[in-house]
A and B are shown apart, each in its own frame.
Chain A
C-alpha cells in the first residue's frame, strides 16, 4: 500500500459511559479513497469525530502522514490538512455562501503544479453556488448545502478529505453529481474517506473498504476483492 495519509490505531472512544468505538484500526493510503461502511449507529461518524479532534479517544492513536495528532484540538488538526464534510452538512446558516467559504480558507497543502482552491475555483465547480454567493446558507436547498459543505472543506486545501454520508437525503440526480465531484477530487490526488451506509455508491469509486459493525471493524479489504468474492455483507450492513 502507498504511504499512509491517515491511520487510526486501536481507537477506543466513549460518549459518557457508552463505549462507541472498540479497538478500531484502519489506514487511508495516500491518494486513495477509502469507503467506510456500516449501518446506523455503527460508529462511522464517531470515527470522523475522532479523526478531526472533536472527540479525543480514550486510548489508541491517530496519525497524519506518520505524525501523531491524537490529542490535538480540531483547529490544529485542520491546520495540518484534514477537512471534514460533516454528516447533515452543518453549513454556517447565518453566513452567506461566500462567507461560508471565506472563513474556511487557508493556504493548506495544494500540490505542486495544482491550482489551489479559492472561492472562485469552488464557484467554477459548483455554478449553482456562484449564483447564490450572497445568499444566506440557511436558505439553500439540501443539495446546494451539500455542495457548499464540500466547497467549504476544499477551501482549506486539505491533504485528507473526510466525507460523512454526502448522499444522505439527496435526490438521485444530485447524488450522481456529488459522486462525480468526489471522483474528480480523487483524480486530483486527494486522500479521501467516504462514509456511506449503502455499498452500492461506494464500491465503484473506492479503492479500499472498511466495514464497521457495532463499533468494531468487521471487514477490511479492497473494493476489487470484495466485488470479486461477492462476500455476503448483509450480516454487517443489513438488507440492501
Chain B
C-alpha cells in the first residue's frame, strides 16, 4: 500500500517537474515551430548553476530558492541570446534548427563536463523541507509535495499570463496566424525572444528544483529531453493544458515503468508517443493553446 502511494506521489512530483520543463518547449514549438533540442541542456545548466550558487560561487552562499531564481534568470538570458544570435537566422528551416539545437546541446554538455567534472553533484533539500508530512497512515516527503505545489502555481501563473494579459493574447495571435499578427502590428520577433527566454528560464528553474531529487550529472540533459518530447507529443504542441496533462501522464508512465518493468522503461515510455504520432498527431488533448 505505502509502495503504491509513494510511487504515485513520485509520479505526480516528476510530472510537476516535467511540466516546468515542457511548458516552455511546447510554447516555443507552438509559436515558432522550432523543435528546441537544447531544452534538456537548459534544465541541466540551471541545475549546475544553481548548485554552484549554493556552494558560494558568488562570494557568499545563496539559499536554495534564491539560487534557483538566479540560475533560472541566467538560463533565460542564455535562451534569449540563442534565439537572437542563432535561431533567428534559421527561420522556417526546421532541419537546420534541429541540427543547430542538437549541436549546441552537445557543445553545452561538453562545456558542463569541463566546468563541473564528471561526478554527480547532489543538492540537499532546501531548509525546512527535509521532513515528512503524515496524512492518516500515509507519510509524504515534504519536498516532493512542495514541488507539486510549485508546478501547480506555475501552471496557474502561466495560464493567467497567456489567457488574461495582452501579452498572452499577442502570443496566441502569433500562434494562430503569425503573418496576420505582424500585419496588425504585433512585433512577433520580439515575442519569439520573450517566449524563448521564458521557456529556457522555466527549464533552468525546473533543473534546480529537480536537483534535490535527481541530482546533477553529465547526461542529465539527454535524460530529460526525450521526456519533454513525449510530453509535448502526448499533450499537443502549443497547448498549456496539454503539457500539464501530458506531464502527469508521463510522470506516471515513467515511474511505474521503472518500478514494474525496469528493463522496458523506455519501451513503455515511447510506445504511447509512437502510437499518438501515428494515430492522433494533434495530441491526446487536441491542439488548442489553453
* Interchain CB contact under 8 A, A86 and B289: no
* Interchain CB contact under 8 A, B182 and A103: no
When C-beta atoms are compared, the residue in chain B nearest to A153 turns out to be B184
Q: Is A84 among interface residues, defined by CB-CB distance under 8 A?
A: yes
* Interchain CB contact under 8 A, A75 and B176: no
Segment 168-210 of B: residues with Cβ below 8 Å from A: 169-170, 172-173, 175-177, 179-188
Q: Is B134 among interface residues, defined by CB-CB distance under 8 A?
A: no
Q: Is A128 among interface residues, defined by CB-CB distance under 8 A?
A: no
* Interchain CB contact under 8 A, A106 and B169: no
Nearest chain B CB to A82 CB, angstrom units: 9
* Interchain CB contact under 8 A, A75 and B182: yes
CA distance A114 to B216 in the complex (A): 62
CA distance A103 to B185 in the complex (A): 9
Could you say which residues of chain A place their CB within 8 Å of the CB of B183?
52-54, 74, 78, 84, 86
Partner of A106, one of B173, B181, B182, B185: B185
In the complex where A54-B179, A103-B169 touch, is A94 in contact with B184 (Cβ < 8 A)? no
When C-beta atoms are compared, the residue in chain B nearest to A106 turns out to be B185
CA distance A102 to B165 in the complex (A): 10
Q: Is B288 among interface residues, defined by CB-CB distance under 8 A?
A: yes
* Interchain CB contact under 8 A, A95 and B172: yes
CA distance A95 to B186 in the complex (A): 14
Could you say which residues of chain A place their CB within 8 Å of the CB of B179?
54, 74
In the complex where A75-B186, A94-B288 touch, is A86 in contact with B180 (Cβ < 8 A)? yes
Segment 44-85 of A: residues with Cβ below 8 Å from B: 52-54, 73-75, 78-79, 83-84
Can you list 13 A-B contacts (CB < 8 A)?
A52-B183, A54-B182, A75-B188, A84-B183, A90-B177, A90-B180, A92-B181, A94-B288, A95-B169, A103-B173, A104-B184, A106-B185, A153-B184
